Chain A
């Protein structure tokens, strides 16, 4: 026995190792692993590039250049015929830009008779000053005849120049601000009256054709209305539907059809829901176009499958022992579901709902079809008034040519992403905190 064993061992040593291609196989192994790492890095790099470009383009939108001018509310200009006590229209139609112009002329030290020089001032300040001063005067008519420091918006082009986004090295014919305006800008900057401030207007203004006075106020309110409608409708309906399917439905053809339907609806292109909204809610039921209410209904139908799938998973994760215990103590099936299963499944349901809401908040395509691409300057007072939504506002700004609109668009994307990230992180935290392993 031992001889044979020795002998065979001896032969094995003598023979060269059988080549099973280990070298190639390990090389293939390494290559495969590198492919995997490459795939992951492609994702991460793309994510990083996308976020960096958006943030680098957009963060400047949160600052806005203003010029602080001592404006004399000259009664001669506002109300030359002194009729404001009788005719309120005088204050509405007064020549407010003239006030600002004279204040600016005085500040820059231009001679009031130097017409060509004054002509170059055109486009230095925003046209929004008219509305701004009108509001000051109408709110407090006593201001007429006094002088007051007012921070007025610079025009969008000046704002870009002030932020250093316009290349001042190219000839002045090829850029939107003249050399003279740049000189004035530097003069005002030196004495501190021209400065950047946090751009609250970005959050409060409605639609406007001027970039510096356009903001996302209407879009934020519209999105808020829609999220409320989705929450109020989709959460109860979704939970009710999942309870039925998970706890009560018998296994039959109808249940099967419902199930396939829900899974399919979760994968139907969102634009199809927009067509449904247009044909049924607007055309057939006669609900108003561009209204947040219709948008909310469409997004509800779109979010329902997400919520139902998440809720069913949460319900199914509650162990059968809880059910048996409740039933054994004499609870009816309904009592078992509502008093025992549902509270235990609540964190999972909540997580699914938040994720569904986040998806609905970023959804654009169906809203385009129900007319939410609208120029809405006033806040919607009810969900039935015309409104826009955050992503739709971004889409509309994307179609504008001016550089200042692109800046605002990137700023709006940052805000939208912050909202979405906050929602997703809440969902993840909730899941971590309340997740139970049975």
Chain B
């Protein structure tokens, strides 16, 4: 029985309980004594009593089943594969699993007289549109068949348990309808738990991010020493030799980190002055007509996806700068089509709206009295801005700049398209360098084998990126918050 069908039946039982309990609740209101809760609260309580425990138990049962099946399959694998290294054992398990799901597509008649060799079985499966790896062994067929049957049986038992629970819950919910029953309070308490659970998802996500990357990173550092990663100045993961074992690649973080910071630095050189100046102009000088045009235009700039910026750099700006530099130098171009300068410039433009909207908020938060005081003493507007408003807003602006820098460091699509893939260490901004995010994408797109350091290194890079941006974000948020309190 499919999972969705079971859940649908549970909900259906709950719906029946809701209708019955609501009717009984409505019947309570005789006009003399008002019952504690309105009829629909009784209905909802019966619904929740019927569905919640049943669904929870069913989900736990499903999780338990998949764990049990894994062990069940392992126990049945012949000795030599059970002892062999993790890679080939997990490969065998994977093969059995995909064979089992392939067998499900066959007709019952075909299943009854199943061929004993994979060579005979394969054409039958292919006729059903199932393509399997050729490494599948003959001995796996009975195991897969058994796995299918066990799983069906367990699924059936789980479904029956869930239905029984749903019916018991429904009866309990319906029977508890009474004049004094505080159904509203019970329903509201459950709702509160639901709301709280939803807000926990934020924490769960962060924990998920850290844990998922941590495990992969640990298994990466089991193969590659820490010093090789953090202090290595050569990035050469050797995809071609992956799996050969003899020649491990070199995973030096330094060139990637240098490229990331360099490009982010160039981007900030563009974004901070332009963004700050446009925020100042917009909040202090611009007539309302200009504001009405420029504000939506800046929002539009902020709403353009980064891939569009990346493609603009790749297709238009990069070749244009290369040709321009070739014309200037008279011959060979000194700006490469993919370069730090191009990527940084485009990223900087992308960040302008970020800087300007963040600093706009901060500048307008400076109290009116400070501005008026300065103007009243005879300072010009620009003097007021430079000597009074900006110093007062400085902590907030620093926070905004940090938040922007953390975005620049984590930006992916622009650098993937415009910065190049070669891990150089150079100071020349017109050459190509690569970044952490580019390498994460490079290592994880295409066919991947999950246990090689070539793919695991992406998680080590990811966790580095996560912690760098985490520190910057938290520090920035702290500054901004503190600053906001100062003037409230």
Contact = CB atoms under 8 A, between A and B. Distances in A.
A338 to B, nearest CB: 9
A260 B308 contact: no
Contacts of B116: none
Interface in B422-447: 437, 440-441, 444-445
Interface residues of A, number: 87
A37 B281 contact: yes
B300 interface: yes
A198 interface: no
Interface string B383-411: 10110000000000000000100110111
A391 B213 contact: no
Interface in B285-301: 285-286, 290, 294, 296-301
A373 B445 contact: yes
Contacts of B349: 43, 46
Interface string B179-214: 000001000100110111111111101101100110
Interface string B132-146: 000000000000000
Contacts, number: 251
Interface in B116-142: none
A250 to B, nearest CB: 11
Contacts of B290: 40
Contacts of B469: 267-269
B206 A421 contact: no
Q: Say what secondary structure dominates the interface of chain B.
A: helix
A272 B305 contact: no
Contacts of A413: 308, 311
A33 interface: yes
B440 A275 contact: yes
A332 B36 CA distance: 13
Given A269-B411, A270-B412, A240 B308 contact: no
* Contact count band on B: 35 or more
Nearest to A35: B277
Nearest to A302: B205
B474 interface: yes
B195 A241 contact: yes
Nearest to A57: B315
Interface string B244-286: 0000000000000000000000000000011111101110011
Interface in A1-50: 25-26, 28-29, 31-33, 35-40, 42-44, 46-47, 50
A265 interface: yes
A261 B205 CA distance: 9
A394 B445 CA distance: 16
B199 A369 contact: no
Nearest to A289: B448
Nearest to A334: B188
Interface stretch (A67-75, A120-128, A148-156, A356-364): A356-364
A274 B352 CA distance: 25
B371 to A, nearest CB: 15
A317 to B, nearest CB: 16
Contacts of B216: 279
A271 B437 contact: yes
Nearest to B442: A368
B305 A264 contact: no
Contacts of B301: 43, 46-47
15 contacts: A29-B382, A39-B281, A43-B301, A244-B196, A261-B202, A272-B410, A276-B213, A279-B459, A305-B202, A308-B202, A334-B192, A394-B307, A398-B311, A398-B314, A417-B304
Given A237-B198, A284-B212, A391-B307, 10 more contacts: A32-B385, A39-B281, A40-B294, A241-B199, A265-B205, A279-B212, A362-B307, A364-B307, A413-B308, A421-B303
